[in-house]
Structure 1
């Protein structure tokens, strides 16, 4: 891995067996790591409100949004705010620019989330987009490179 100035997240350092490891990522490694963390974050449910201020590990995840209605703009805005808050607190390597919550055509109870922003590590920044959609076993996260 190339030295880009940002350490791997704690979970990845724990999984590697060396919590003090100075694991740093090249661009693809960073993309893969953020992708994995977003998958964890979006497939973890927290309560309807944050419990601590600022949010702590007790607040990890996204509030249950299965009851939100795709046609209600208030529901879509609320989900976008929740997503932005969770990413800002739990995945700082992704600097969000835009969060789009859109209805899924032909599926009245489903929403699609598109995140547009930059991956950042040290002085390096790379444009990226992630799409989060329902899959048969939870939510799936796909990434799109924008360069």
Structure 2
């Protein structure tokens, strides 16, 4: 986004030509754009390790966590670190405060992820929470609140 120091999401940057100016968003547009990018990010699997430093397009996504044991706190912390790294590199408009990874009460082998932080655009910041849970077509991202 021009003048903010925050890059547009990866797929928006790929879709824009070099001469295109990144789209400026109002608050709802920013929320919708971040929601879409989180859905893409969480539904894309990358290899077990980051291949480049800093991460590039070949590192896009979240490492496969299907082998992790949801009941083990070490595995949940590892997943939270992977999520934080991916969001930091590929969705910088979401400034994460906390990443909560918990088994679903009704389905202990499945996880619920809650992201708490702030949406940011330039010098403006808005508190936000997103919840990521299994859905019918992969992981679904839901906006929980925006104060």
- Structure 1: distance between partners of 2:108 and 2:19: 45
Q: How large is the Cα RMSD of the aligned pairs? A: 2.0
Displacement, 1:146? Answer: 3.6
Map 1:126-145 to 2 at 5 A.
Answer: 126-145=126-145
Q: TM-score w.r.t. structure 2 length?
A: 0.89
Distance of 1:65 and 1:14 partners within structure 2: 27
Q: Who is 2:34 aligned against?
A: 34
* 1:104 matched residue in structure 2: 104
Structure 2: stretches of 5+ with no match in the other structure:
none
Verify the 8 A CA contact 1:4 1:123 in the aligned structure 2.
no
CA distance in 1, matches of 2:36, 2:123: 22
In structure 2, C-alpha distance between the alignment counterparts of 1:121 and 1:4, rounded to whole Å: 10
Task: After TM superposition, give the deviation of residue 9 of structure 1 in Å.
Answer: 3.2
List alignment gaps of at least 5 residues for structure 1: none
Closer/same/farther in 2, CA of residues 10 and 104 from structure 1, 3 Å limit:
closer
Question: 1:102-141: per-residue Cα shift (whole Å, max 9, x none)?
Answer: 1101212101100000000011100000000011211000
Counterpart of 1:82 in 2: which secondary structure?
helix
Runs of 4+ in 1 over 3 A off after TM superposition: 3-10, 13-19
Q: 1:140 to 1:130 in 2, by over 3 A?
A: same
